[in-house]
Amino acid sequence: MAFYSATWNIVDPVSTLASEQLLGWVIFPLLASLWWANKEQATRLVRGNAKWLVILAFPIMFFLHVESELLIGLIYKAEYADAAWMQKYLVWTILLSFENNLFAYVIMVAGGANSLLLFTIIATLFNVALT
């Protein structure tokens, strides 16, 4: 569990920073203003951002994958060196987080906040049951 926590403390902030700062502060307000005024333009914005987020995610994932030993070694004690292999798998959560947050914002803008809440509750219960 300590190895997972160590690597998650590196991967999660990268994912959160881009997802919440870029999507939440820039894309979401723009999407919210376009959704009801011009759905075609809003759809292009969502598709463009989905592609752009994939393009952004891969270099970040590559860096965190390749430099996992260095990053774990710089931040944690030598006993955590084995956490580096776990980071190589957790980098995939960056891509998933980017796209998940974009589409969550789309669902909220489209008026599906209750559906999103229900889906989140079901996913959380499923995760708790599997733990």
**Residue 70 has what pLDDT?**
92
**Residue 115 has what pLDDT?**
92
* pTM for this model (two decimals): 0.82
The residues, ordered by sequence, that sit 6+ positions from 7 with a Cβ below 8 Å of its Cβ are 68, 72, 83, 84, 86, 87, 90
pLDDT band at 94 (very low <50, low <70, confident <90, very high): very high
Residues 83 and 11: beta-carbon distance below 8 Å = no
Q: What's the first-to-final CA gap in the chain, in angstroms?
A: 12
pLDDT band at 15 (very low <50, low <70, confident <90, very high): confident
Average pLDDT, the chain: 89
**Residue 59 has what pLDDT?**
94
Q: How far apart are CA 37 and CA 40, in angstroms?
A: 9
Q: Give tens-digit pLDDT for 51-82.
A: 999 998 999 999 999 999 999 989 988 888 88
If phi over 0 gives left and psi between -120 and 50 gives alpha, with beta otherwise, what is residue 77?
beta
Checking if the pLDDT of 41 tops 80, the result is: yes
Domain total for the chain? 1
Task: Print the domain residue range for 46.
Answer: 2-130
Mean pLDDT across 5-24: 83
